[in-house]
Amino acid sequence: MQLTEIDAAAVREIYERPFPELAFAAIAAHRAAFDPLAIQRSTLLSIKTGGCSEDCGYCAQSARRETHVRPEPLAPIDEVVAAARAAKAEGATRFCMGAAWRGVKDGPAFERVLEMVREVSALGMESCVTLGALQPHQARALREAGLQYYNHNLDTSRDYYPQVVSTHDYDDRLETLEVARAAGLKLCCGGIIGMGESRDDRIALIAELAAMERPPESVPVNVLVPIEGTPLAERATFDPIELARTVATLRIVLPSSYIRLAAGRSAMSAELQALCFLLGANSVFAGDRLLTTENAPLDSDAALFAALGVRAEPASARH
């Protein structure tokens, strides 16, 4: 059942249970709300790459960093629609579009994004965008165009956030989420682990998500992909058991949300992914790339799904 009055102390009690007990509770919560054999598949496309004015320490798209990423203009609508069609043919039911902007600006670029949303929605796919900060009228325009999900990750805890980015603060993130929710959009909001944060930070992030009046319907769990030229690359730490505990705790405190294995999955073993699916992760990003980083190839996903006896969730399953 949905927990109430959730706080960091309540999350910690769950997170730090002996692992067999934590796993049992997560598996039960997952089975109560979802088909445990179905994995939702989403595809993420960068529709405007690089040149971002923000200084997020994990991101290769910041204009303040020297990385392998070179700025690219907003993609043509027909290319985006073609990519969405291909994703649908490969089994994706949600198509996510990301633009490296600090925030949305009214004008031709935003109008083009609205048309992308209309075209993707017309394909019968769920649509999601991540465009940075939103104004209320822009959120309403996206909703009217057919958008279903707005992605805006909190990334980490409030306390650790200044170690990640300095060009905006935590409350800015929360404000954008409130704007999207007020417009009738569903939320896609999660975080990144392995940035040098502590267990306390992971627990605080989970508590922040769970304490929302309406928690996010979709929660991406990213593992930091260390990218040369980004400040956090040298802080990268990855503990598979901490990832498993994070997934299991999210499943218990957010029983009706999709929990997605997102960035960093290409570096996860088949065994670790299988464990995460068992503990309640029920969504993945499919396709060879996620914005500017590599992703698990489609053929390896197909082999893994076959080995585990799980299947891609059909578009009509819960929507």
What pLDDT is stored for residue 294 in this prediction?
66
What pLDDT is stored for residue 290 in this prediction?
62
With beta carbons less than 8 A apart as the criterion, state whether 50 and 41 touch.
no
Per DSSP, the residues of 257-275 read SEEEE-TTGGGS-HHHHHH
Residue the block writes with tokens 């043919």:
89
Q: In sequence order, what are the residues at sequence separation of 6 or more whose Cβ sits closer than 8 angstroms to the Cβ of residue 165?
A: 54, 55, 56, 57, 155
How many C-beta atoms surround the C-beta of residue 266 within 10 A? Answer: 16
Six token digits for residue 224: 């930091």
H or E stretch including 223?
A: strand 218-223
> Quick one: pLDDT band at residue 316, thresholds 50, 70, 90?
low
pLDDT in tens, 225-250: 887 888 788 887 889 999 999 999 99
**Amino acid symbol at 280:** G
pLDDT in tens, 107-124: 999 999 999 999 999 999
Task: Encode 9-45: b = buried (16+ Cβ within 10 Å), e = exposed.
Answer: ebbbebbebeeeebbebbbebbeebbeeeebbbbbbb
- Say yes or no to pLDDT of 182 above 80: yes
Six token digits for residue 205: 């992030």
What pLDDT is stored for residue 183 in this prediction?
97
Average pLDDT, the chain: 90
> Quick one: pLDDT band at residue 310, thresholds 50, 70, 90?
very high
- Say yes or no to pLDDT of 289 above 70: no
The catalytic residue positions are 52, 56, 59, 96, 128, 188, 260
C-alpha distances (whole Å) from 139 to each of 210, 214, 235, 318 are: 23, 17, 35, 24
Note the residue count of the chain.
Answer: 319
Domains of the chain in sequence order: 8-312 (3.20.20.70)
With beta carbons less than 8 A apart as the criterion, state whether 249 and 15 touch.
yes
With beta carbons less than 8 A apart as the criterion, state whether 265 and 272 touch.
no
> Quick one: pLDDT band at residue 259, thresholds 50, 70, 90?
very high
- Say yes or no to pLDDT of 299 above 90: no
Distance CA 253, CA 231 (A): 32
Q: 92, 108, 202, 212: which is closest to 152 by C-alpha?
A: 212
Q: 27, 24, 12: which is closest to 255 by C-alpha?
A: 27
Q: What is the percentage of the chain residues whose pLDDT exceeds 90? A: 71
What pLDDT is stored for residue 2 in this prediction?
42
What pLDDT is stored for residue 55 in this prediction?
77
pLDDT in tens, 9-61: 999 999 999 999 999 999 999 999 999 999 999 999 999 876 677 878 787 77
**Between 158 and 103, residue with greater pLDDT:** 158
